[in-house]
Amino acid sequence: MKKNNTSIDGELITLPLKDLLYILLGDEMSGSPHNNVPYSVALILEHKLKDSLVYKLVWNESHEQAVIWWWNEWKNDSDRLAQLRAYSEQLRVEGWLQKANVKTISDAIKSSAKVPDDVANVMAFNILRNPNCSIIIDAMWGVRKLKTKVEEL
C-alpha cells in the first residue's frame, strides 16, 4: 500500500493513502461529499490521484486551495452548476429581448398617441404579456416583427 509523507512541526508522519482519504471524506455512504485539503496534502493527492475514477481533486483559480471530492458527487455538482449557469444565461437573454421589444412597442405607442414614456412602457409591457400580442401590435401600431433572437438586438 502506498504511503503519504506529511511533516508536522518538523516531525515526519507516514500515513497510508486509503487512511488519509478516509480521514478527509469518510466512506462513500456516510461521509462528506467533499472537503478542503491543506496545500501540502493537496500536492501529494494530486500526484497520487491523477487517474482516479473514485476521487477528484479540484483547485481554485489561483491554485492556492484544493477540495477533494468523491468523483460521482463532483460530477453531479458540476453538471448541476452548468445547468444553473445555462438557465441564468437564458433568463438574461430573455430579459434583453423583452426590454428591446418593450422599447419598440413603447416607441410605436408614443408615436401614435401622445402619452408619457412611463405610461407607454407599462402599456407595452402588459401587451407583451398577452400570448396573442403580435396580432394586437400589428393591427394597432404596425409593428410586424418583434425580436426573438440575440442576433437581432
Mean pLDDT lowest among 11-15, 22-26, 84-88, 91-95? 11-15
Domain that holds residue 89: 76-152
Regarding whether 44 and 8 lie in a shared domain, the answer is yes
- Please provide the average confidence, as pLDDT, over all residues in the chain: 85
**CB of 24 within 8 A of CB of 35?**
yes
For the segment 106-134, the average pLDDT, to the nearest whole number, is 87
Closest listed residue to residue 97, CA positions, set 125, 136, 137, 132: 125
Regarding whether 147 and 87 lie in a shared domain, the answer is yes
Regarding whether 63 and 34 lie in a shared domain, the answer is yes
The residue out of 71, 97, 124 marking a domain boundary is 71
Regarding whether 88 and 59 lie in a shared domain, the answer is no
Can you give the pTM of this predicted structure?
0.62
- 119: Cβ contacts below 8 Å, ≥ 6 apart: none
Q: Provide the grid cell at 152.
A: 437581432
Regarding whether 83 and 138 lie in a shared domain, the answer is yes
Beta strand segments in the chain, E: 3-8, 11-16, 34-37, 55-59, 66-70
Does residue 7 sit in helix, strand or coil? strand
Regarding whether 47 and 33 lie in a shared domain, the answer is yes
Regarding whether 51 and 67 lie in a shared domain, the answer is yes
Regarding whether 91 and 137 lie in a shared domain, the answer is yes
Sign of the C-alpha dihedral computed for residues 101, 105, 107 and 110 taken in this order: negative
pLDDT value of position 12: 66
Regarding whether 34 and 61 lie in a shared domain, the answer is yes
